[in-house]
């Protein structure tokens, strides 16, 4: 009886001393970003975090939700996009760790190569400045168009100075670019939208080189950036286990930054 009482006392003491997990609501777009966070979740639990993943269907709401204190962090964007959002909306949001890179692809259901896109053909690109500009920079990099000098990372269709094939650019919401493939000759699709739509990055008729400022990041409110849970979140994400999961699951379509 005494042993039982001692054991129960020890168990109760251990339970009392065990610290509850810190809740971290983290926003992500559907597809790879959310999938990766699901793999991070058990690692985060070992590091004292209860990671609650909340999916958002577009690129605007995750920063709105973070700024409004509806979530504690998000994982879906790159630095140029965050910079643009902060400039436009005054968000006090800061990056705290680099995550993964999704090389942008241009896809087609009508043509096997971009050379087959006809003169006057239609190309859908994203209607937000960061991703639309990124698509135009990809097309310039591949010799399809030429942009005005000094346009930086956010060129627009108005910055095209040479378009020898007289391509028509149709701007749509980033999440709708896979659907646009039914109606256009080609469409620029971010990998996190391509994968859920059944598009294989290896099938892209043009593909961005894995370089430049487009590595994605974890972001939090500026007031939180030095808190212990932020360090635990970054370490959990940038772990060997997460890296192995990404390499096994995505086969090169998603590249780690560590």
Question: 1-10, 91-100, 172-181, 184-193: lowest mean pLDDT where?
Answer: 1-10
- Asked whether residue 122 falls in the same domain as residue 248, the answer is no
219 sits in which H/E element: strand 216-221
Predicted model pTM: 0.74
Domain range for residue 98? 2-102+213-256
Cα 202 to chain center, whole Å?
Answer: 18
Matching residue, tokens 């605007």: 60
Residue that finishes a domain, picked among 166, 186, 207: 207
Name the nearest CA neighbour of 25 among 93, 71, 76: 71
Question: 11-25, 90-104, 193-207: lowest mean pLDDT where?
Answer: 11-25
Q: Round to whole Å and give the CA distance between 37 and 52.
A: 9
Spatial contact of 216 and 77, defined as CB atoms under 8 Å apart: yes
Range 210-232 average pLDDT: 92
Three-state secondary structure call for residue 257: coil
- Asked whether residue 93 falls in the same domain as residue 219, the answer is yes
Give per-residue pLDDT as tens, 73-110: 999 999 999 999 999 999 999 999 999 998 899 999 99
Report CA-CA distances (Å) from 196 to 3, 25, 245: 56, 23, 17
- The CATH number that applies at residue 243 is 3.40.190.10
What is the tally of structural domains in the chain? 2
- Asked whether residue 180 falls in the same domain as residue 110, the answer is yes
* C-alpha dihedral, 141 to 147 to 150 to 153, nearest 10°: -60
Q: Round to whole Å and give the CA distance between 147 and 150.
A: 9
Residue that finishes a domain, picked among 207, 225, 248: 207
């Amino acid at each position: 009886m005494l042993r039982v009482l001692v054991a129960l006392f020890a168990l109760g003491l251990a339970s009392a001393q065990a610290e509850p997990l810190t809740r971290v609501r983290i926003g992500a777009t559907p597809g790879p970003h959310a999938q990766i966070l699901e793999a991070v979740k058990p690692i985060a639990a070992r590091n004292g975090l209860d990671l609650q993943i909340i999916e958002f269907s577009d690129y605007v709401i995750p920063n709105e939700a973070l700024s409004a204190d509806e979530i504690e962090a998000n994982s879906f964007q790159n630095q140029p996009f965050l910079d643009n959002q902060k400039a436009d909306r005054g968000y006090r949001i800061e990056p705290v760790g680099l995550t993964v890179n999704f090389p942008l692809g241009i896809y087609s259901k009508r043509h096997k190569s971009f050379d087959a896109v006809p003169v006057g053909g239609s190309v859908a690109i994203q209607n937000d400045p960061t991703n639309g500009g990124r698509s135009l920079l990809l097309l310039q990099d591949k010799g399809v168009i030429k942009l005005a000098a000094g346009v930086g990372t956010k060129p627009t269709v108005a910055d095209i100075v040479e378009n020898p094939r007289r391509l028509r650019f149709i701007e749509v919401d980033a999440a709708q670019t896979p659907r646009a493939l039914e109606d256009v000759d080609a469409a620029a699709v971010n990998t996190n939208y391509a994968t859920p739509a059944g598009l294989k990055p290896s099938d892209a008729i043009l593909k961005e080189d894995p370089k430049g400022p487009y590595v994605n990041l974890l972001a939090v409110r500026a007031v939180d950036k030095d808190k212990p849970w932020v360090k635990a979140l970054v370490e959990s994400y940038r772990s060997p286990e997460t890296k192995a999961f990404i390499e096994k699951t995505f086969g090169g379509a998603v590249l780690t930054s560590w």
